[in-house]
Copies of this chain bind each other. A is one copy, B any other.
Amino acid sequence: MDISEPRARIVETADELYNAKGIQAVGMDELRAAAGVSLKKLYGEFPSKSSIVMAVLERRHDSWTEGLDAAVRQAETPRARLLAIFDYLAGWFCQDSFRGCGFINSFAELGAISPDVADYARKHKESFQRYVGKLSEEAGAPPFLAPQLAILAEGAQTTAAIAGTPDAAGQARQAAEVLINAALRSEA
């Protein structure tokens, strides 16, 4: 992703603006000015605003997936890898730009009127659940653990966003430890 390329710069700028102010609150002209391109170039790269929204969602999915996987890979045991999910959340919540999960937000804003956005949000969350499922399986946990941890992660995101504090990450992590211990014990 070369930021000097107009297309990538547009998507990155749109991602930041949409995250900071909401998708519907950012007009094409504001995006044009922030990305430093002409309207003609904007509409040369993307046929419509909704196509930019979809490109932003793809970028968010890739960036989230890569960031999470990088954090998880640093942990050495299967159990630590499950908990690393919540350490990743903690780091994310502490960023000034954190304003909640972009997929939850875009689903809330556009899911009811844009099937594309709703589908992509659903796919993203399913992908996360599969990822947790894989980690959970590698830890030898029964299949009910993964949805529980995924729900914890979702709840931590919305709680941290609305409360404006990163506390929920640590609380979710502690809950995850309890759930993991119980699941592994039930398996043994």
Q: A19-58 interface mask toward B, CB cutoff 8 Å, 1 = contact, 0 = none?
A: 0111011000000000000000000000000000000000
Q: A127-154 interface mask toward B, CB cutoff 8 Å, 1 = contact, 0 = none?
A: 0000000000000000010011011111
Complex Cα gap A75–B157 (Å): 30
- Residue from B121, B156, B175, B178 in contact with A162 in the complex, judged by beta carbons closer than 8 Å: B121
Q: How large is the interface on A (under 10, 10 to 19, 20 to 34, 35 or more residues)?
A: 35 or more
A110 at the interface (CB under 8 A from B): yes
Q: Which residues of B contact A163 (CB under 8 A)?
A: 122, 125-126
CB distance from A57 to the nearest CB of B (A): 13
CB distance from A7 to the nearest CB of B (A): 26
Q: A74-112 interface mask toward B, CB cutoff 8 Å, 1 = contact, 0 = none?
A: 000000000000000000000000011101111111111
CB distance from A45 to the nearest CB of B (A): 26
**Known contacts A109-B22, A174-B144, A153 near B155 by CB under 8 Å:** yes
Q: Give 6 CB contacts A-B under 8 Å.
A: A21-B112, A99-B111, A99-B112, A100-B107, A152-B152, A178-B182
